[in-house]
Structure 1
Amino acid sequence: MARIWCGIVAQPGREREVTDTPAFEARRLIRGAASATLATQAAGQPFASLVTPATAPDLSILLLLSSLSEHTRQLRAEPRCALLFQGSPVETNPQTAPRVTVTGLAAPVPEAEVPALKARFLARHPYAALYADFGDFALWRVTPGGAQLVGGFARAMRLRPSDLLPDPAAAAAIAAAESRILDHMNADHAGAVAAIATRLLDGAEGPWRMVALDPDGADLALGERVCRLNFNLPASDAAAVRAELIRVSSEAQSGLQ
């Protein structure tokens, strides 16, 4: 029976070595989540809502929020919040699902940063382009202040920001090289990108594009569908990203499933 590792299906006996520290496991859950539960509060009364997060290279969590929403009004009054990201259970028991709770401070993204970070959010959630420019919507950023990872039933650990967050130098280096790498992959290696999506990530056939990079992996998109490719270990710079993409591309094109 195939196992899901790092967003890639590996057959028994052909698993790839994975550097699986608690922090890396937590970041994969956060970066790969299509949705999360946001916890806010007003006058001591907790409130939970569904949100669709994206992440910046430094793991800041991006949220596109409407000023008409209860949670947005609550964040303006009290920026302390928490987000729950959840993976899939490995058994019938829902408690076998890996999950991570991130606590942090929320704030609207400064106007000068909005274009780049909104583009990143829309790369992760293309369907949101329908309402992203509505007057009541604004981009918010949650700066993580810590996390608790539950890797499955009865396996919990706390992570300080220094444990959770990617290396700042790595995040900056990859952010600086992201546009160049994406252009190169989509223009010169479109077949490899499609092979990664269809053979390793169980995506449908089509002209997939690589739309975002960070130290922990990449996002691939086909229309409004986005798949997450998790790296086997965190990348420290553009050269490390290149080496990982070469290896994964070779694996995909060889037909490994």
Structure 2
Amino acid sequence: MTQDDPSRTVRHLVRGLDRAALATALPGGDGPWPYASLVLTAVDHDLSPVLLLSDLAEHAKAIAADPRVSLLFDGTQGLDQPLTGPRVTLLGRAEQSDDPRLRARYLARHPDAEMYAGFKDFRFYRVAVTRAHLVAGFGRIRWLDDLGVPSAEGMPDAEAGILAHMNADHADAVDLYAARLLGLDGTGWRLTGIDAEGLDLRRGGSVGRLAFEAPLTAAGEARKVLVALVAKARQAGAAA
């Protein structure tokens, strides 16, 4: 994350977390009431959060009455002084989605959700973001209307194949990314997403985000970058 590029800080933070606090307007006899709840999140290529909610949940009832929501992504975990760390609130409107690609992206990020994603009362939602409020530490606070999300041509369609290939044929490379480039413990890491700016990883309850040095402009560039990251990881191990 960089202090001089707040939009990149937002993108890195949101993509690097797999949960958020969801705020909705809960209907009631005395008018809407602010209601916050914990949700698991995935993020689409355009930075739209993807949620899986039960119709029986209070936040789903609230969204049915008023689709305006906000999501707080908290990057302060583990800090001695949490208020010095980054967090961002995304404001937007939540809409139900039957897009199979969003379903696949969410379930790759949260494989355990496969057990209940097919239940009749569970539905996927896409949040169309309108604004972001970033607090990157003391005195580093601003509203952002444009998050400058880069895109890689063809990546949404190519993503599933890239992930399947890496996880099946190059699991050792994925573990190298985790250990040598992110300092993450253990083996058995899997790639759960690739977008223009980086890779998403998961191992059990832990997640990681590996940013590329420069954004990709097309899916065809992914192979060269992934190979280069392996070389970088091996060099990091040799120097240790």
Corresponding residue for residue 133 of structure 2: 148
Shift of 1:85: 0.6
One-letter amino acid of the structure 2 residue matched with residue 250 of structure 1: A
For 1:89 and 1:154, the matched residues in 2 are separated by: 19
- The gaps in structure 1 that reach 5 residues or longer are 1-5, 7-17
Distance 1:61 1:83 in 2: 9
Calculate percent identity across the aligned residue pairs: 44
Which residue number in structure 1 is paired with residue 172 of structure 2?
A: 191
- Tell which has more relative contact order, 1 or 2 (C-alpha 8 A, sep 6+): 1
- Map residues 177-256 of structure 1 onto 2, 5 A cutoff: 177-222=158-203, 225-254=206-235, 255=237
Distance 2:17 2:192 in 1: 16
Which segment drifts farther, 203-212 or 60-69?
Answer: 203-212
How many residues of Structure 1 are paired with residues of Structure 2 in the alignment? 234
Structure 2 match to 1:12: none
Q: 1:4-43 counterparts in 2 under 5 A?
A: 21-41=5-25, 42=27, 43=31
What is the Cα-based RMSD across aligned positions, in Å? 2.4
Within a 5 Å distance, the mapping from 1:51-90 to structure 2 comes to: 51-88=39-76
What residue identity is the alignment partner of 1:122? Answer: L
Normalising by structure 1, we get a TM-score of 0.81
Q: Could you tell me how far apart the structure 1 residues matched to 2:39 and 2:200 are?
A: 19
How many angstroms apart in 1 are the aligned matches of 2:207 and 2:108? 8
TM-score by length of 2: 0.86
Residue 130 of structure 1 is matched in structure 2 by: 115
> For 2:154, what is the secondary structure of its paired residue?
helix
Q: Structure 1 residue 89: deviation in Å?
A: 5.8
Alpha-carbon distance change, 37 to 224 in structure 1, aligned in 2, over 3 angstroms: closer
Q: Deviation digits for residues 96-138 of structure 1, max 9, x if unmatched?
A: 12011110010100x3x1x321121011112222222222111
- SS, match of residue 176 in structure 1: helix
**Structure 2 runs not aligned, ≥5 long:** none
Aligned to 1:164: 147
Q: What is the alpha-carbon distance in structure 2 between the residues aligned to residue 199 and residue 22 of structure 1?
A: 27
1:82, distance to aligned residue in structure 2 (A) = 0.6
Give the conservation status (yes or no) of the 8 Å contact 1:104–1:146. Answer: yes
Alignment of 1:100 onto 2:88: yes
